Amino acid sequence: MKESRLLVLFDLDGTLVDPAGSITGGISAALAACGLPVPAPADLQRMVGPALMTSLKDIAGVPEDRVAEVIARYREGYRASGMAQSRPYPGIREVLEQLRAAGARLAVATQKPEPLAVDLLRVQGLLDLFDSVNGSPADEQAGAELDGKRTIIRAALIRHAGSFDSAVMVGDRMHDVHGAADNALDCIGVAWGFAADGELETEGAAAVVHSAGELLTELDRFRVQERTCANGSL
């Protein structure tokens, strides 16, 4: 039986790593330091996932000419303490190790600036488990001009072209579902992230899992289905 080669794309914050308040708290601190209003907690939660520049303008209402200032304050605090405060979600490391042992290729697809994503994964001891890290440009302005998650996922697929037979996205927000769909991929939603109740189901996630164990089971089922299809049994 021919083994189907699977590429699994993972979102970062809210999927692999629990920011432990470092993102929402860091945004609040940066806004306050710049003398700008701090959004309500629910709105701060919604700011985790999209590009930071976009969230600051669309959700926090930061004027265009103040966005760069707020981002600089936020990044300074995040590098100083936020990355160290974050933690991999329970069981995630074991999921990644088991997927690699089974022959899957693993990649990160995040709207976080790519150099910052690499640094975070290194601090959390996860970097060596991934074949690539795909994120926004270091230039926040250039990152804001990307077409959401679509462009980042497409770049990851191109980067790994020829090394996989099928691919699936794993993420915690609607942006992951939409970006996957725009690239003709299924998205498995994780319920431990930052999505509002029912968001992932409503936006079309192929499945929603509530633990690392459930995620591994779902990915194993996906691998079996793809392997069956590859052998013409369906």
For the chain, the domains span 6-18+87-230, 22-85
Helix (H) or strand (E) holding 134: strand 132-136
pLDDT at 157: 98
Percent of the chain at pLDDT > 90 equals 76
Q: Which CATH number fits domain 22-85: 3.30.420.40, 3.40.50.740, 3.40.50.150, 1.10.150.240?
A: 1.10.150.240
Find where tokens 């690392």 sit. 212
Cβ pair 126, 88 in contact under 8 A: yes
Q: Which residue has the higher pLDDT, 141 or 42?
A: 42
- Using CA atoms, how far apart are residues 188 and 172, in angstroms rounded to an integer? 8
Among residues 11, 13, 172, 176, the one annotated as catalytic is 11
Stronger pLDDT, 37 or 2, i.e. the higher one: 37
Split at pLDDT 50, 70, 90, the class of 144 is low
Residues 106/130, Cβ–Cβ less than 8 Å: yes
Instruction: Provide the whole-model pTM.
Output: 0.88
**Angle at alpha carbon of residue 58, lines to 56 and 62, rounded to 5°:** 45
- The CATH number assigned to the domain with range 6-18+87-230 reads 3.40.50.1000
Give yes or no: 11 in active site.
yes
